[in-house]
Structure 1
Amino acid sequence: MTANIKRVAFFERWLDPVAEQMLAGSPDIELSRLSFDDPVEASRAVLRRMHGYQVSTRGDLRGPWLADAALIEACPNLLAVQSTGAGFDVIDLEACTRAGIAVCNQAGSNKEAVAEHTLGLMLALSKRIAVSDKGLRTAAGVDRYAQIGNDIHGTTIGLVGIGHIGRRVAEICSKLFGMQVLACDPYLSGEEVAERGARKVELAELLRESDFVSVHCPRSTETYGMMNRAAFERMKRGAYFICTARGGIVVEDDLAEVIREGVIAGAGIDVFLKEPPPHDHPLLQFDNVIATPHIAGMTHEALREMAASAARQWVALLSGEVPPHLANPEVWPRFADRFESQLGFRPKPLPTTVA
C-alpha cells in the first residue's frame, strides 16, 4: 500500500541536524529544503504543495517568508506551521486560525539556556563584571573601589510573565540566591503563580518592589511597547532591568533615556526591535548596559532540543496526534476537517485539558 505522503518545507537548515535525522525515520513525511537564494516564485510553487511549513528564526528569515496572511493565502494546502523556538512572532497566529492552520511552538525547549543567560546578565550587572573588564582593557589604571557591586542574595526579582522560562528563573533565584520572587501574569491565578515559585502581583507593584525586573512574556499586541518610560519610572532607583524575551516589548529609546538620567541602575538586553542593532544604537553607548545579540536561547544543548522538539511535533501532528505545544487550540475542529479532507483520516479530538 502506498504511503500517504505528508509534505513539510523549511528554508536552508534546522538549528541542529537531529531534526532531519529524526524525520528520516518517518517514510510518510517528505521534506523539502528551500533556499533564500532561490527565485521567489519557485519557492512559492513548492510551498503551495506543502502540508507543513517549519518557519526559520526571525534573525535568519528573509524575503516574503514570514507565515503571514499573504503567505497563508497563497498556500491552500497548508495544515500546520511551526516556529523554531518558544516565540511565534514570525507567524500570524490569527490569520492561521482563521484559515484552519494549526500553529505550534517549542515552548520550554530552551528554558534552561534562557534562564541561565538571565542570571548571567543579573550577575554581570550587579557585580560590575563587564564594566571592570572593559576598564582593565582600556584604561591606564582602574580604581577597584569605584567598581564595588552588590550581592543579589536576599533581593527581590520581579518576573513579567512566568511561563516555562520565568518558572525556571524563579526556581534558580529563590533556591540558589534566596531571592524573593514576584510575578505578574494575567493568565494565571495566584495559586498557579505560587505553584511556580512566585507571589502574584500587579505590574505596578512588581515594578515598585523589585531590585531586578526581568521580562519573560511573548510579544503580542498586548505586550508590544509595554515597557516604556512610564513603566521604568515606577521602578526602584538602583534597580536593574533585564529582557531576554522579544524585541518590541521594550521601548528602547525610553530605556536609554532613563538610564542616561540615572532613573535605574542599568540593563541587560538580549533582544532588540531591529536585530542586530546598529552600532550607534542608544543603548550600546552605556557602560551599565550589557547587550547580547539574541543568543540567550542559543546553546548547543538548547538548539538540539528545539530541533528535536519540532521534529517530534511534526511526527505527532501528521500522524493525527495532538501536538504538545499547540498555540491555537481553538483551531482544532476546523483543522481536523481540513486534515481529513487532504490526508484521508481524521486526527484525534482535542483533549479537554488542552482546550
Structure 2
Amino acid sequence: MAGDKRVVRTDLWISDAFDERLKREPGVSLRVFPVRGNTAAAWDILSSAHVYHVSAAKDELPQEWFARADLLARCPDLLLVSSSGAGYDTVDVAACTAAGIAVVNQAGGNAVSVAEHTLGLMLGVSRRMLEGDRRMRREVGYSREDVMGHEIHGKTVGLVGIGHIGTRVAALARAFGMEVIATDPFLSPEEIARRGARAVSFQELLAQSDFVSLHCPRDASTLKMMNADTFARMKKGAIFITTARGGIHDETALVQALRSGHLAGAGLDVWDQEPPPLDHPLLAKDNVFATFHVAGVTHECRSNVAAISAEQIAGVLRGERPPRLVNPEVWPAFEQRRARILG
C-alpha cells in the first residue's frame, strides 16, 4: 500500500523467522519476487523496493538479481541492501555507496555453526575419519592402524582472521587443549589476545601452525592469499582448513601441495564453483574432507540469521543506524535519501 516501507526478497529458501519478524513491524510491507520464470513480475516488485534482502549465495542467485549498478538504477527508492549472510559476494558495495544505498550483512549470526563445522573438519581430517568411513564401506580385513590418525590436543591452530567466527573457533580449540595463534590486520595484538589467541605475523602463523584455518573475508587483499608459495611455507604435514570463501585459496596449488605430501590433508567447505564438479581433483583425494558451503547451514543458524536480518532491517526503517553496516561512509548520504524518500 502507499506509504508502506517496502521490503523485498527473493523466493529462494529462507527461514520463516524473517517473514514472521517483519510482519510484526508497523508500517512495513514484505513482497517476494521469483528469481526465475517471470522477469516482468519480478521487476514490478523489486523496482519499488526500499529494502532489498538479497541472497548471499553467488552460485544460487541468478546474476541478474545481484545488487549491482544496473539493478540499482532500476530501483530509484532503494535505501538498503541487506545480504542474507555474513558474506556479500552478490552485492557491489562501491556501486551502492555511490548511489547513497546502505549495505548490511549478518556477521556473527553464523558464528556458532561455522566454528563447530571448523572443528569438525579439523577432527575429521586429523583423525582420518572420512578415510575410515570409506574403507569400511568397501573393504574387510584391513588393519585399524592403516587409518590411524593424530590427536588435535597439544597441536597449534593458526587462525587467519579472528572476528566473530575466529573468536568462537579459538574458544573451542582451547577446550580441546590446542595452542591458538592468530593474525588479523584489523586488530591489535592486545585485542587478539583478548579474543583468545596469541598474535603473530602471517608468515609466523604459516610456519608454526599444525592447522591453518581461514576466517577472513574475500576481497582484493585476500584473493588467492593461499597459493603455491604460502602452502609451501606451511609446516610439512600440516592441515589446511577453510570455511571462509572460495577464491581465497588457489585450488590448483592446494592439489599440488597435497599430491607432493607437503600437506597432510585439507578440510574444505568453500569452493571456486559451488558445488564443485564431480571430477574435481580435490574430491578424488581421501585426505580431503569436502563439504558444500554448509558450515552455516544448520536449523539454528538459519533461524538466527533470518531473525537478526529482519531485526536489522526493521531498525533501519525506524531510523536507527544498523549494527552491521558494511559501508559506514555512506551514512550521511543515506540519511538524506531516507528523509527525502520516507519523510
What SS does the aligned partner of 1:326 have? coil
Cα deviation, residue 57, structure 1: 3.2
The TM-score normalised by the length of structure 2 is: 0.97
Q: How does 1:251-290 map to 2 (within 5 A)?
A: 251-290=250-289
Q: Structure 2: how far apart are the matches of 1:307 and 1:40? A: 25
Cα deviation, residue 329, structure 1: 1.0
Task: List per-residue Cα deviations over 1:275-304 (Å, max 9, x = no partner).
Answer: 110000111010000100110001100000
Task: List per-residue Cα deviations over 1:15-66 (Å, max 9, x = no partner).
Answer: 2101111111123111111112243243223222111100013143124011
The TM-score normalised by the length of structure 1 is: 0.94
* 1:86 matched residue in structure 2: 86
1:306 is aligned to 2:305 = yes
* 2:102 matched residue in structure 1: 102
Q: Structure 2: how far apart are the matches of 1:111 and 1:3? A: 39
Of 18-27 and 118-127, the range deviating more from structure 2: 18-27
Task: List per-residue Cα deviations over 1:101-156 (Å, max 9, x = no partner).
Answer: 11111111110000000000100111111101101111232221121111111110
Q: Structure 2: how far apart are the matches of 1:14 and 1:137? A: 34
| Aligned amino acid, residue 130 of structure 1 | L
CA contact (8 A) 2:315 2:322 kept: yes
CA contact (8 A) 1:14 1:307 kept: no
Q: Structure 2: how far apart are the matches of 1:63 and 1:87? A: 16
Q: How does 1:160-239 map to 2 (within 5 A)?
A: 160-174=160-174, 176-239=175-238
Q: Structure 2: how far apart are the matches of 1:141 and 1:98? A: 65
Cα deviation, residue 210, structure 1: 0.1
Q: Structure 2: how far apart are the matches of 1:321 and 1:4? A: 19
CA contact (8 A) 1:15 1:306 kept: no
What SS does the aligned partner of 1:108 have? coil
Q: Structure 1: how far apart are the matches of 2:78 and 2:142? A: 60
What SS does the aligned partner of 1:268 have? strand
- Aligned residue pairs total 342
Q: Structure 2: how far apart are the matches of 1:36 and 1:92? A: 19
Task: List per-residue Cα deviations over 1:298-327 (Å, max 9, x = no partner).
Answer: 110000000001110111010101111111
Cα deviation, residue 168, structure 1: 0.3
What SS does the aligned partner of 2:35 have? coil
* 2:290 matched residue in structure 1: 291
Task: List per-residue Cα deviations over 1:223-277 (Å, max 9, x = no partner).
Answer: 1111111110000011100000111111111101110111100000001011110
* 1:348 matched residue in structure 2: none
Q: Structure 1: how far apart are the matches of 2:307 and 2:255? A: 38
Cα deviation, residue 3, structure 1: 8.2
What SS does the aligned partner of 1:64 have? helix
Gaps of 5+ in 2: none
Cα deviation, residue 13, structure 1: 4.4
Aligned in 2, Cα 1:14/1:318: closer, same or farther, shift over 3 Å? farther
What SS does the aligned partner of 1:31 have? strand
Q: Structure 1: how far apart are the matches of 2:142 and 2:308? A: 47
CA contact (8 A) 1:8 1:32 kept: yes
Q: How does 1:38-77 map to 2 (within 5 A)?
A: 38-58=37-57, 59-77=59-77
* 1:347 matched residue in structure 2: none
Q: Structure 2: how far apart are the matches of 1:114 and 1:332? A: 30
CA contact (8 A) 2:182 2:200 kept: yes
Gaps of 5+ in 1: 345-355
* 1:326 matched residue in structure 2: 325
Q: Structure 2: how far apart are the matches of 1:307 and 1:184? A: 30
CA contact (8 A) 1:216 1:244 kept: yes
CA contact (8 A) 1:121 1:268 kept: yes
